[in-house]
């Protein structure tokens, strides 16, 4: 094991508090009930910090604060240049505190420090910077109406946003939610995932430091059915933005049907990653590994169904297994770690459960297929990177989201078969295509029913590129100018001339 990353004293102070409080109306407060919950370091199974547990009453206080902060107009009508400067300041503060935030993220989520430090944290800062750019570019239109009238549109903020996020990219999901909401003049109550509340709370401190007015952003950690449910049902919330499981997404869809709150849902996936025999084999192997083992496979767009053209199937699977076997698994703070633990005991049980199902269904694990209890890893939630062959697209492990370092390699005959099998899923979040034939790349990219298609690459993101799902992967597009649509509404104004 390499020398672990030295913990910053700021991190030790942050996790060492008797209770990490929640942010409501610009103040750090304990839960109304006085309750707190523990967040666990998944590399060791030990308690990392104790966090105030928000419930209905806390959500109500937070929503009322967000409502006041929206209705008094100070935020929504703030001079755009000033609001822009504020968002830029947030980006700067995230960068300036990058080491600390990355360590916190790795401790709480388990992901390798190199991922937190070089992906999550810079991408979070970039998201704020990108939406800072939008603040003074959100235009209305003048419309060609009858000459007796003047008709124009205003793009106005939606109001109070309830934002519920998962544990796989804790800080980055805060940024994807908060940056466009704030840029468009909304206020927010954000509920981080119970497993990973720490970077959201640290971000709360940075937001105050940047000068975000009291009540504009409220951060209430707690559990899904209690705090999350109360936020979804609260009558003063205008919009819900959710990232997480399809199951909870459907529940939110049902729950909000009666109130017609606006909703955007970014849900699960079972993405096809399709390797044609004419692909660059090195690049395709690396892309396939990045597609499934990044963040230990706990990624909604992970390329978990790896379709490989029949004639190269065996050879490709072997090469994949050999390369994956060299990826070091260990605690995220070890700089050599490429694959960390899963986020929680619950996720460990879920993923190992699927491994057993896969074996019963007849899949063969070329590598992995079990928990990793190697030296020093016994108490953590480690699952060995697993490559299954002998998988058919109708098996349970090829249909359900596993959310762990597990890939199913599935053969296909030709282009048509690849597209048919690739699309044969309830999900439609992302897809990958590997080929050196440009025309084939275009045909397949168009034929795949997914919100994102990567050609000869995988897991590439940019704040300017939209992201979201087809089918049961949800609706609404985050990032880019599309998020401006999510967080604004259009008003048509008529004047008689």
Cα–Cα–Cα angle for 236, 240, 242, rounded to 5 degrees: 150
Residue 25: CB atoms within 10 A of its CB come to 17
State which residue, 62 or 444, has the beta carbon closest to ligand NAP. Answer: 62
Binding-site string for ligand NAP from residue 347 to residue 366, where x marks contact by CB under 6 A and - marks none: ---x----------------
Residue 205 interacting with ligand NAP (CB under 6 A): no
Question: 310: number of CA atoms within 13 Å, CB side?
Answer: 7
Bridge partners (DSSP) of residue 154 are 491
Where in 214-233 is the site for ligand NAP (CB under 6 A)? 223-225, 228-229, 232
Cβ-proximal residue to Mg ion, closest one: 224
DSSP 457-493: --S---TTS-B--SGGGEES-BSTTHHHHHTEEEEEE
- Options 161, 174, 300, 301, the catalytic residue: 300
Tokens 């692909």 locate to 279
Q: Which stretch binds ligand NAP (CB under 6 A): 36-44, 64-72, 237-245, 288-296?
A: 237-245
Segment interacting with ligand NAP (CB under 6 A) among 12-20, 114-122, 191-199, 328-336: 191-199
Question: Mask: binding to Mg ion, 190-229, rule CB under 5 A, as x and -?
Answer: ----------------------------------x-----
Given 164, 220, 444, 479, the residue binding ligand NAP (CB under 6 A): 164
Q: How far is the CB of 335 from ligand NAP (least distance, A)?
A: 26
Catalytically annotated residue among 266, 309, 401, 478? 266
How many other C-beta atoms can be found within 10 angstroms of the C-beta atom of residue 367? 15
List the one residue out of 73, 239, 226 whose CA is nearest residue 158. 239
Contact region for ligand NAP (CB under 6 A) — 76-84, 151-159, 264-272, 285-293? Answer: 264-272
Nearer to ligand NAP, 385 or 404 (CB): 404
Give the nearer residue to ligand NAP in terms of CB position, either 9 or 258. 258
Let me know: does 384 contact 440? Beta carbons within 8 Å.
Answer: no
CB 14 within 8 A of CB 108: no
Nearest to 114 by CA among 3, 1, 5: 5
Q: Closest CB to Mg ion among 194 and 238?
A: 194
Determine whether 266 is an active site residue.
Answer: yes
For 462, phi and psi rounded to 5 degrees? -155, 145
Nearer to ligand NAP, 268 or 369 (CB): 268
- Give, in order, the Cα–Cα distances in Å from 244 to each of 102, 224, 300: 22, 11, 8
| Cβ(90)–Cβ(181) below 8 Å | no
- CA-closest candidate to residue 171, choices 196, 150, 154, 207: 196
By CB under 6 A, is residue 317 in contact with ligand NAP?
no
> Which of the choices ligand NAP, Mg ion, none does residue 350 contact, using the CB cut-off of 5 to 8 A by kind?
ligand NAP
**Residues 42, 54, 170, 244: which binds ligand NAP (CB under 6 A)?**
244
Question: 406 in helix, strand or coil?
Answer: strand
Query: Which does residue 199 bind out of ligand NAP, Mg ion, none, counting CB within 5 to 8 angstroms by kind?
Result: none
Active centre residues (catalytic): 266, 300
User: What residue ranges bind ligand NAP (CB under 6 A)?
Assistant: 164-168, 191, 193-194, 223-225, 228-229, 232, 243-245, 248, 251, 266-268, 300, 350, 401, 403
């Amino acid at each position: 094991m390499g020398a672990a990353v030295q913990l910053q004293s700021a991190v030790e102070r942050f996790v060492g508090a008797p209770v990490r409080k929640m942010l409501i109306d610009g103040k750090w407060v304990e839960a109304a009930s006085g309750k707190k919950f523990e967040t666990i370091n998944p590399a060791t199974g030990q308690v990392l910090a104790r966090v105030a547990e928000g419930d209905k009453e806390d959500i109500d206080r937070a929503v009322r604060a967000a409502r006041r902060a929206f209705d008094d107009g100070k935020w929504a009508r703030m001079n755009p240049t000033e609001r822009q400067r504020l968002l830029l300041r947030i980006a700067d503060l995230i960068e300036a505190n990058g080491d600390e935030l990355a360590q916190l993220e790795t401790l709480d989520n388990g992901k390798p420090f190199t991922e937190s430090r070089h992906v999550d944290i810079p991408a979070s800062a970039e998201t704020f910077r990108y939406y800072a750019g939008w603040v003074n570019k959100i235009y209305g239109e003048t419309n060609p109406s009858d000459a007796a009238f003047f008709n124009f549109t205003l793009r106005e903020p939606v109001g109070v946003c309830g934002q519920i996020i998962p544990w796989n990219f804790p800080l980055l999901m805060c940024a994807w939610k908060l940056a466009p909401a704030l840029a468009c003049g909304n206020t927010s109550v954000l509920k981080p995932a119970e497993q990973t509340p720490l970077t959201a709370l640290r971000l709360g401190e940075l937001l105050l430091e940047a000068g975000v007015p009291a009540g504009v952003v409220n951060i209430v950690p707690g559990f899904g059915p209690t705090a999350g449910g109360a936020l979804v049902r609260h009558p003063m919330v205008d919009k819900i933005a959710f990232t997480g499981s399809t199951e909870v997404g459907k529940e939110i869809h049902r729950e909000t049907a009666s109130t017609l709150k606006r909703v955007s849902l970014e849900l699960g996936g079972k993405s096809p990653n399709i390797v044609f025999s004419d692909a660059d084999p090195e690049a395709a192997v690396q892309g396939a590994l990045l597609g499934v083992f990044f963040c230990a496979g706990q990624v909604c767009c992970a390329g978990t169904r790896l379709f490989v053209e029949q004639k190269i199937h065996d050879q490709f699977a072997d090469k994949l297994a050999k390369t994956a076997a060299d990826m070091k698994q260990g605690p995220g703070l070890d700089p050599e770690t490429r694959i960390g633990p899963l986020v929680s005991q619950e996720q460990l049980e879920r993923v190992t459960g699927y491994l057993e199902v896969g074996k019963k269904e007849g899949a063969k694990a070329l590598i992995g297929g079990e928990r990793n209890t190697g030296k020093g890893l016994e108490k953590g939630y480690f699952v060995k990177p697993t490559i299954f062959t002998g998988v058919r697209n109708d098996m349970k492990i090829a249909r359900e989201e596993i959310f762990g370092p597990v890939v199913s390699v599935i053969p296909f005959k030709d282009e048509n078969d690849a597209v048919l099998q690739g699309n044969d899923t309830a999900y439609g979040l992302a897809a990958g295509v590997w080929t050196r034939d440009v025309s084939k790349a275009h045909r397949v990219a168009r034929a795949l029913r997914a919100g994102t298609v990567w050609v000869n690459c995988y897991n590439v993101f940019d704040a300017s590129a939209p992201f979201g799902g087809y089918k049961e992967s949800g609706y609404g597009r985050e990032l880019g100018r599309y998020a401006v649509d999510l967080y604004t509404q259009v008003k048509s104004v008529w004047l008689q001339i």
